Amino acid sequence: MNKSVTQVSIAKWRQYSWLLIVSIVIALSMLVGCGPSGPSIEALETVDYTPLPIDDWEMSTPAEQELDPMLVAEMYYNAAKLETIYSLLVIKNGYLVAERYFNEGSVEQKDRLQSVTKSYTSALVGIAIENGYLSSVDQKMLDFFPEVAAQITDPRKEQITIRDMLQMRAGYPREETDDALWEGLLSGYYIPLIEEFPLVSDPGTRFHYSNLTSNWLGIIVDRATGTNLKSFAEEHLFPAIDVEAGEWGTDAEGHNNGCGDLHLTARDAAKFGLLYLNDGIYEGNQIVPANWVHDSLQTYSVNEAFVKKVGHFRDIGYGYQWWSANAGEHHVNFAWGHGGQLIVLVDKFNMVIVTTSYPFWKENTDESWKNEKAIITMVSEFIKSLPSEVK
């Protein structure tokens, strides 16, 4: 009798538990259904991202280039909500398929690209090697700074190569980690800091994002070529890709800043992205050596940066002054500047995405990072949403 009662009780408890689980699942489904949803098809159909009728780009549409117009519309719908974005451009198969300007942005505006500049500095290093001004990436940093070499007290600095500098593996620290380092970066007098600032790791062993290292790279190009970065670029890079650069800020000694402060329009930034997407070729001419583009877009350090993920970008890595990441199933390389300046290469889809934004010049705050992250999230969400296979 007691055994039978027990069996009935267990059966009822199992039935009750199952009903409870079903009820919870239904309730959760209802909650999800009542949550926020994406824009409606009707809302997306009103989004205008038609490129402006200016003849410096061949134009097309996303559909003609086998890119889902609704995915593009949703990215532009999201971009319109952002407070600091200036521009958003999409290039597919060499065609400008989407373009829009927001807030204070315009097609003529030459924006401060911040650390996107580093990728241009890298290109100029490669061009300097190709033209015989530099012998190789294995040249030592101190070969170009004899006035400092005699004062070096840390022998490890004698081993730093141009390759280490390009990969951000020279051993110098990230300036944002210390007020004294940050003040040194803002001082404009960079050459003495080669000796004054300590290494935080052995050269070639660890990634540390160092603006000063990029500035020293720029000065190396200056000294090797006998001119400054902007003049060298105006001879070997900008005209070759139909670009007219704006201001390029200088340090206290007149060197263009290798780490930042190049001003370009969003369309001109897109031409640089297209150049790297096409192995250094622009309109049939080899502008940057193909092997340099290849080496620049490799990943030499991964998940060693100050962020391990941002938006939908994961496995964040670094090449020769270019970043890399994965967004969902897709690999990207990108030039990245403070505030949300981006030139993103999605090689799998033969696509370039460009954003410019308020640069937050010398503003390293929670507010600046929040806005920068919002722009990266918007772009990376679009890339993650792309189909697994190319049509």
**What pLDDT is stored for residue 40 in this prediction?**
86
- pLDDT value of residue 232: 98
Query: Percent of the chain, pLDDT > 70?
Result: 91
367, 283: one domain: yes
In this prediction, residue 37 carries a pLDDT of 58
On whether both 271 and 356 belong to a single domain, the answer is: yes
C-alpha to C-alpha distance for 341 and 319, rounded to whole angstroms = 18
Instruction: Please tell me the total count of domains within the chain.
Output: 2
Domain of 363, CATH number, reads 3.40.710.10
In a domain, 221, yes or no: no
Q: Same domain for 125 and 13?
A: no
User: Same domain, yes or no, for 117 and 18?
Assistant: no
pTM for this prediction: 0.90
Domain with 12, as residue range(s), is: 1-37
Considering the domain boundaries, does residue 240 fall inside one?
A: yes
Domain annotation covers residue 152 = no
118/21 same-domain check: no
**317 part of a folded domain:** yes
Specify the DSSP element, H or E, that contains 202. none
Residue 101 within any structural domain of the chain: no
| Domain-located, residue 254 | yes
**Domain assignment of residue 80, yes or no:** no
d(CA 313, CA 310): 5
**372 and 283: one domain?**
yes
Residues 130 and 3 in one domain: no
**Are 126 and 2 in the same domain?**
no
The whole-number pLDDT of residue 28 equals 41
Q: Does residue 252 share a domain with residue 362?
A: yes
How many residues are there in the chain?
A: 391
Query: What is the C-alpha to C-alpha distance for residues 364 and 355, in angstroms, rounded to an integer?
Result: 19
- Assess whether 24 and 115 both reside in one domain: no
**pLDDT tens for residues 294-349?**
999 999 999 999 888 999 999 999 999 999 999 999 999 999 999 999 999 999 99
**Which stretches of the chain drop beneath a pLDDT of 70?**
1-37
The CA R_g of the chain, rounded to the nearest whole Å, is: 25
Domain match, 243 and 366 both: yes
Helix axes 229-236, 211-225, angle to 10 degrees: 70
